[in-house]
Amino acid sequence: LVERMREFGETIFAEMTQRALAADAVNLGQGFPDTDGPAAVLDAAVEAIRSGRNQYPPAIGVPELRAAIAEHQLRFRGTTVDADTEVLVTAGATEAIAASILALCEPGDEVVVFEPYYDSYAASIALAGAVRRTSVLRFPDFAVDETSLRAAFSPRTKLVLLNTPHNPTGRVFTRAELELIASLAIEHDAYVVADEVYEHLVYDGEHLPIASLPGMAERTLSISSGGKTFATTGWKVGWVTGPAALVSAVRTVKQFLTFVSSGPFQPAIATGLRLPDSFFAGLRDDMRARRDLLADGLADLGLPVSVPQGGYFVVADAAAWGPDGLAVCRALPEQAGVAAVPVSAFLDDKTFGATLVRFAFCKRPEVIKEGVARLHKAF
């Protein structure tokens, strides 16, 4: 293995899901829903397969998905994108993130990223030979720390990798925070890559796309995915939107990573993106109730809990269960019959969250209740 990839072993999600299966544990670790998404979306995929849409789709994505992405952005973000030049369909948000960094960063360029960060960020930055510079979000509110953010920028900053709503913390960045990030990006003439896969999962406040702030559209690539919104994480339909020149650069890289992917699932996600507003509101309300169920359950255990404003996860401080969150999570499936993920897996500086543990609530209410009941029994 090349040196720059040696710090990356098996992902924490794979490890904890394996432990969950081995111990027959309730899996509140890896973030995937345990029920299927809307029937209309599933039916559209079956229909696409049955009607023979099983060969390579067009390199930039099937036309109806690109059109649906453009319509969806107009409906929910109020922004206009050209479906032919400013939209690129990818193999999930994961590929969109990797291809964006590979397209924009020279070896040695610096990428500003907030820690804890989603695990693929560090690996994608390393693949590009770029250098990550982190700014910490601290438990329990996970607000942006202006001092640490300013310190993360330098004359070598090429790109800011932003994620809101944020995984693992559930933080929804405020307008003031996004304006600070935007002003620093403009000052350093840096690009912003905005991972917005949880854009429809906001429970308090509102999702604000950084691309919509003044001076940002021309330097921002916005990324989303059908996985979370339509509970189809295995389909890996993602997309990136932004200025034509930047999207074209990402496309050049993407061609040689996967070329294309998810043929029949692309028209199905187009069907999803065109669902009425009531679907998206219902999803949010349903997930908010699950968040409350899990956050209240963990708080009842006596753990300090950060109630997330968005996303799939609740972070709690499990110091009462042990001094090392990774060790706690490795033992938890056997010990309590529950799987979770240590926040330290998303940190460079473990001192900011050695005892923090992430629990997923994208599960059926009875599964969340069972998980909480098992934790009550064990602790």
Give the alpha-carbon dihedral of 73, 363, 314, 240, to 10 degrees.
-20
Q: Where are the beta strands (DSSP E) in the chain?
A: 26-27, 87-91, 110-115, 131-136, 157-163, 191-195, 220-225, 237-241, 305-306, 313-317, 338-339, 341-342, 356-360
Instruction: Show the site string, 46-85: x = touches ligand PMP by CB under 6 A, - = not.
Output: ----------------------------------------
Q: Which residues contact 249 (CB under 8 A, 6 or more apart)?
A: 103, 104
Residue 225 binds ligand PMP (CB under 6 A):
yes
Q: Give CA–CA dist 152/145, Å, rounded.
A: 11
Q: In Å, how far are 8, 13, 148 from 144, measured between CA atoms?
A: 26, 26, 8
- Which is nearer to ligand PMP, 188 or 262 (by Cβ)? 262
- Which is nearer to ligand GLN, 57 or 170 (by Cβ)? 170
Cis omega (within 30 of 0) for bond into 168? yes
Q: Give CA–CA dist 89/104, Å, rounded.
A: 18
Supply the minimum distance, in Å, between the C-beta of residue 237 and ligand GLN: 15
Q: Give CA–CA dist 307/296, Å, rounded.
A: 9
Cα angle 183, 135, 158; round to 5: 55
- Which is nearer to ligand GLN, 31 or 371 (by Cβ)? 31
Residue 92 binds ligand PMP (CB under 6 A):
yes
Q: Give CA–CA dist 330/164, Å, rounded.
A: 28
Q: Binding to ligand PMP (CB under 6 A): which residues in 185-224?
A: 195, 197
Supply the minimum distance, in Å, between the C-beta of residue 133 and ligand PMP: 19
User: Which residue stretch of 35-43, 225-233, 242-250, 282-290 sits at the interface with ligand PMP (rule: CB under 6 A)?
Assistant: 225-233
* Amino acid type, 209: P
Supply the minimum distance, in Å, between the C-beta of residue 334 and ligand PMP: 25
Residues binding ligand GLN (CB under 6 A): 11, 13, 30-31, 167
Q: Which residues contact 278 (CB under 8 A, 6 or more apart)?
A: none
Cα angle 156, 194, 234; round to 5: 125
**237-241 vs 341-342, strand pairing mode:** unpaired
11 binds, among ligand GLN, ligand PMP, none (CB under 5 to 8 A by kind): ligand GLN
Residue least distant from ligand GLN (Cβ)? 31
- Which is nearer to ligand PMP, 238 or 337 (by Cβ)? 238
Residue 116 binds ligand PMP (CB under 6 A):
no
30 binds, among ligand PMP, ligand GLN, none (CB under 5 to 8 A by kind): ligand GLN
280 in Cβ contact with 199 (< 8 Å): no
- Which is nearer to ligand PMP, 93 or 152 (by Cβ)? 93
317 in Cβ contact with 343 (< 8 Å): no
Supply the minimum distance, in Å, between the C-beta of residue 38 and ligand GLN: 20
User: Which residue stretch of 50-58, 92-100, 151-159, 352-360 sits at the interface with ligand PMP (rule: CB under 6 A)?
Assistant: 92-100
- Which is nearer to ligand GLN, 33 or 267 (by Cβ)? 33
- Which is nearer to ligand GLN, 19 or 251 (by Cβ)? 19
Residue 238 binds ligand PMP (CB under 6 A):
yes
Instruction: Give residues in contact with ligand PMP (CB under 6 A).
Output: 31, 92-94, 118, 163, 167, 195, 197, 225, 227, 233, 236, 238
